[in-house]
Every structure is written in C-alpha cells, then in structure tokens.
Structure 1
Amino acid sequence: MKSLLCILFLLPLFGLTQVQPQPEKVKPFKFETIVQTGLLAGGSAEAFTLQTVNGFRHQKWFAGIGTGMDFYMQRSIPLFADVRYDFSTKRKTFFLYSDAGINFAWTKNREQQNIIDQSPGLFTDAGIGLKINTKKQDAFVISAGYSHKQLKETQKGFSWWGWPVESPETYYRYNYKFNRIAVKLGFVF
C-alpha cells in the first residue's frame, strides 16, 4: 500500500518535469538578401538609387556586403559593409542600419572627354526603418536615413586662344561631397 501511494505521489512530479518548457535553441546563422530602391533628396534635385545587400542574420543582428547605383549629379557605385539591428523578433519591428564603404565613380562618359582622372571616396549611410515580416520568412522594409558620398575628379581645361599662339594646359580638381536624405523601400528574402 505504501509503495502504491509513493507511486501515485511521485507520478505527477514526473509529469511536471516533462511539461516544463525546454530552453529555446539558438537559431543558426541565416543567409539573407536585401534589395531596395529609393530616392536621394538634397542639394538642388532628387535622384534614384538602387541597392542590393547579401549577408547573414543571427537573431536580431544582420551583417553583409552590398553594392548599388546612385544617379545624382555624379553617378556612382558604392561598395559597402551593412550592419542592421532589429529591435524585436515580432512580425513588425523597427530597425537601425549603418553602411560604410567606398564610393566609385561611374565610368567616363563620352560627352565628358575632358575628365582625366576619377578617384573613389568615402561612402556612409545610416538610418532607421520598419521591417514587416511575411509568413514565408520574407520581409518588406522601408527606411529613412542620411547618406554621405565623396568623389574626386581631375579635368583638363579648355582654352580659347587662337592659332598660332599655343595655350598653356590647365587642370581643375574637384572634390565632390554629396549629403542626401535617403528614403528607401525594399524586400528581404
């Protein structure tokens, strides 16, 4: 009788140990691609931008490498490292992002034959955004931030001296610094 009472008393305790929640397993790294397009506003006009970023997500953190095309005054191709932090793992969450890298000049244009040299410069972009996850583990993202880009260029000057007088060669150096507000819309898969 005592052994039966012991078994009846201990049986619920074994059941409770089975019901206790198991510790959550840490999810491994997941590969993600972010494709986004947007508008760069500032200076005298607005311009179009297109970017793609490939990297790995671990819980709330994402790190990757990206490239894109920017179409304002001096067209350029940024190559950058991208870091993002999601505030939560819920379906809708805010995130912070920061990009840093090199901004390369677009290839020389036939119409700009006076360009002698173009040098890459600094690229930075940082901001905040909203991420809306879908049921298929994809997501829509919208963000607003501040973009800074630099380029250097050397141009050969034109002179209008008449013949037979030979004109001296003149060179102009330009250090372009573009500061823009960046509003982007994209998709994560």
Structure 2
Amino acid sequence: MRALLLLCIFSMATRKVLYAQKDTVAWFTQPGVTLLNGDKYTSAAITAVTGVHYKQWYLGVGAGIDYYKVRSIPLLAELRFESKLKAAPFVYARAGYNVAWALEHQHTKPYVFWGTNSVFNNGKYAAAGLGCYVYRKDDTGVALTLGYSAKGVTELYDETIWNGTRTVTESRKLDYVFRRLDIGVSYRF
C-alpha cells in the first residue's frame, strides 16, 4: 500500500511536465467511489488506479476496499480506451486478485459451544464497463461510469452436528461469486 501511495505522489509530481508533450507516455492517477448493487445487497467501494497512458490508451494498477457482502481488497490491473470526443466516452476492463478481509459479523459462527468461526480465502476480481467525462480540462477530469463486476471469495468452517447418538464434525466450503452492477464517479489527475 505504501508503494501505491508513493506511485500516486510521483504521478502527480511528473504530470505537468509530461502533459506538455502530447505523444509521450504520461502518468495518471484516478481515485474513485462506486455504488455496488447486486441481487441481495447494495454497498460501496473505494478504488485508486495509477499508471501510464499513451495517446488514448491507459494502463494502470490499483487497489481498493470493497464492502459488498464480505469486505475485501481488490488488487487490480486496468486497461482503458478513451475516444477523442470532447466528453471522452471510454470503455474499461479490470482484472485482478480479491483479498478477503471480512469483518467480525461476516463470519459464520457455530450455533453451539463447539465448532469454529469461518475463515475466508482469497479469490478473483473482474470488472468491465463504459464511462464518460462530465468535466474535463487538459488531462484531468471527473468521470461517471456504469459497469458490471464480480468478486470471488471462499468461506471455510467446521460444523458440529448431533445425529442423535454422537456428534460429527463436518467441514464446510462455500464458494461465493458476487456479481454486481457498478455506478461510479472518479477524478483523474
């Protein structure tokens, strides 16, 4: 996370110098907030992507905090293509690794005195969508996006069952893939 912060600061420091040279590779940073709406939940996510762009192509890496159902940290790579129109509509795709970071109340707990709390394993993250800039000056601007994303996590826990004569411990594994609609706003500098 410290490396990502340093990369953002370096990006801001070199931005003005590189923008003057239109056909060179330049740095960008784009933090954003997203509303996530799935089949059972509505939640939010915060992301920050930083990277390089050349002409209309943007390639970056980023991280965020995703609060949908099970809190997690998506570590992602993003590829974006922007048109040359004034509103600069664009398409984007993200892919990466989803690190589970569940809150205490999100764990499955045993119903009786014995058993274990659940443990979450990491999964995959993917997103794609469309967007456009509602305000744009030079190479900075405010963007609105509409997309679709999916994140995966696996929950593991032991469940103790009384079958009438003895207790049996069963290991449970639940694979979750959360699919959601994304509506976001971000600022690129």
Is TM more than 0.5 here?
Answer: yes
- Cα distance in 2 for partners of 1:176, 1:110 equals 17
Output the CA distance in 2 between the equivalents of 1:159 and 1:128. Answer: 49
Equivalence for 2:24 = 28
Deviation at 1:144, TM superposition (A): 0.4
Q: Is the 8 A contact 1:91 1:132 kept in 2?
A: no
Of 117, 120, 127, which residue of structure 2 is paired with 1:118? 120
CA–CA separation in structure 2 for the residues paired with 1:50 and 1:70 = 7
Query: Are 2:60 and 1:64 aligned?
Result: yes
Offset of 1:168 from its aligned partner? 2.4
1:21 alignment counterpart = none
Distance in 2, matches of 1:26 and 1:47, equals: 39
- 1:102 corresponds to 2:97: yes
Is 1:87 paired with 2:89? no
| Contact persistence 1:115–1:153 (CA under 8 A) | no
**Residues 155-170 of structure 1 aligned to structure 2 (within 5 Å):** 155-159=157-161, 167-170=167-170
Task: Report matched runs for 1:42-61 at 5 Å.
Answer: 42-61=38-57
Structure 2 counterpart of 1:141: 143
Matching residue within 74, 78, 85 for 1:78 = 74
Gaps of 5+ in 2: 1-20, 110-115
- CA deviations 1:117-153 (Å, max 9, x no partner) are 3221111100000024533531111000110111111
2:4 equivalent in structure 1: none
Instruction: Please say which structure displays the higher CA radius of gyration.
Output: 1
CA deviations 1:49-89 (Å, max 9, x no partner) are 1111010011100000011111121111111110000011x
Q: Which runs of 5+ in 1 are unaligned?
A: 1-24
TM-score (norm: length of structure 2): 0.77
Partner in structure 2 of residue 177 of structure 1: 177
Would the alpha carbon gap of residues 31 and 149 (structure 1) be closer, same or farther in structure 2, given more than 3 Å must change?
same
Q: Where does residue 150 of structure 1 map in the other structure?
A: 152
| Contact kept in structure 2, 1:69 and 1:76, CA below 8 Å | yes
Count of residues in correspondence between the two structures? 162
Distance change >3 Å, CA 161–CA 35, structure 1 → 2 = same
Report percent identity of matched pairs: 26
Does 113-122 or 35-44 show the bigger shift?
113-122
Contact 1:130/1:143 (CA < 8 Å) preserved in 2? yes
Residue equivalent to 1:6 = none
TM-score by length of 1: 0.77
Verify the 8 A CA contact 2:71 2:103 in the aligned structure 1: no
* Residue 36 of structure 2: aligned partner: 40
The verdict on how the C-alpha distance between 1:111 and 1:57 changes in structure 2, with shifts beyond 3 A counting, is closer
Shift of 1:158: 4.2
SS of 1:125's partner is strand
